[in-house]
Amino acid sequence: MTAPNHIAGGIVFTGLFCSFFSINIFANPIYISVTVLGSLLPDIDHTKSWIGKSVYPIAKWLSRNYGHRTITHSIFFLIGVFLISVFIEKNFREDYTISTILFFSLLSHLIFDMVTLAGIPLFYPFYKNPCVLPANPEMRIRSGNIRQEGIILFMFCFLTFFMQDLFANGFWSTINNNFNDVKHQIKEYKKSPNVLNIDYDYTIYQTHHKGKGTYIQASETEMFILSNDKILSLKKDTPGLKIKLLTTTKTNSKIHENKIEINDMKESELNTILKDKFISTATIYSTFGTALTTNPLEIKKKFQIENKYNLTFISHLQDTLLVKKEKIIAELELKLKSEENHLINDNKSYYLDLAMLQEQKNKLKSDLSNYDLNETKKNIIDLENKIANYKPKTNLMIAEYKKQLQKIKSDQIGNITYSGEINYIEINK
């Protein structure tokens, strides 16, 4: 098989099998270069081949000592080059992407040479007979046949163009996208190390959703899409859900989950942290009952938050607390006045006698006749005896209300502060 066919076929073969490992050979110039190199490398034993001319001394030595299609076309050469590549890559990279590409591109050359009439000694030097595919020679390719080589080159070029999506998204991602459902998109999110962009077009009963977004989070049964500063939620068994399109594409961005611990943080500072963030989980405590703008009527001191975006706590709630304080004070003062009035009515006779006694004592200060003076003194003695024997009623609630008033008036309403732990998702481009 000619060099152009080896290159074109190597791209198709390597791109296909690397897609099983989510490796896109077109994602990096180095990847496609390694693919081309690997697809030509076994012909390094031929001085007239493209790669043989590039390293002529090596090609000449191999050709003289082993001949063409011998040691470099064996499975042992394939394994040897692969192991050397793994050893080198282990010391310089975090993965084995290049080694994987090199393995499949080398393998493509061996397989394509096996489908020629001559075949290759795959197990050289232990077994020198050629290995061929298929067994029928009429179905194998004649090397140098322009018509056959041209047809094959056209097929490889067509497949390269046709399989671009497969190369870009990977085999399993392509399968998941073809199913076009929530279940397989959740699987795709779980296995993808990078951020996924998503095209969606679906309806829930009469509500239509269509657009592009970022696949931000997923549980076992639910996926979350960030689109136009809003979070869309899709569950496996959402009633009335009809999906027209649900397709993901890979990016080079990474998702990181960060943690923030807050302690006695002001409301404005907390809202700044929460702005434009997707909160995966959070537990937040407030010093006073407060609320989120998403549900302002639910006032509480503890918040358990999951999978929410761009949250905001209600501002200036201390003003509400001051109004509430003033209202409580007014209510207590009204109750206190009422109880005091009740007590006065219950002891009306007692207070009347006290008033009369004071009146009689005031008469002593004026000029009185002997008779009036004696009468006044007699009245005073009678009233004092009556008052001394009187047992006025008491009201314990008056003392309690006074105590409550004193306490609430002394309480200071300070700024609301928050404490707790926040876990949020961040996309690093």
Cα end-to-end distance, the chain, whole Å:
43
Pairing, β 417-428 against β 278-292: antiparallel
C-alpha closest to that of 286 among 309, 313, 308: 313
Whether the CB-CB separation of 2 and 149 falls below 8 Å is answered with yes
Whole-number pLDDT of residue 54: 86
C-alpha closest to that of 78 among 52, 49, 107, 101: 107
Whole-number pLDDT of residue 317: 55
Enter the tokens of residue 271: 């809202």
List phi, psi (to 5°) of 195: -70, 140
- Whole-number Å distance between alpha carbons of 262 and 282: 11
The set of residues, in sequence order, having a beta carbon less than 8 Å from that of 29 and lying 6+ positions away, is: none
The set of residues, in sequence order, having a beta carbon less than 8 Å from that of 260 and lying 6+ positions away, is: 273, 421, 422, 423, 424
Angle made by CA atoms 145, 149, 151, in degrees to the nearest 5: 125
> Domains (ranges, CATH) in the chain?
3-167 (no CATH), 171-252 (2.30.30), 255-314+420-428 (no CATH), 320-410 (no CATH)
How many residues are listed for the chain in this entry?
429
Within the chain, which residues score under 50 in pLDDT?
none
Whole-number pLDDT of residue 11: 94
In angstroms, the Cα distances linking 305 to 45, 254, 317, 403 are: 65, 23, 20, 40
List phi, psi (to 5°) of 201: -155, 105
Interval 242-294: pLDDT, tens: 999 999 888 888 888 899 999 999 888 999 999 989 999 999 999 887 889 88
In angstroms, the Cα distances linking 352 to 265, 309, 356, 357 are: 61, 71, 6, 9
Q: What is the pTM of this model?
A: 0.60
| Percent composition of the chain: helix, strand, coil (DSSP 3-state, to 5) | 50, 25, 25
Enter the tokens of residue 105: 């591109």
Q: Dmax over Cα atoms in the chain, in whole Å?
A: 161
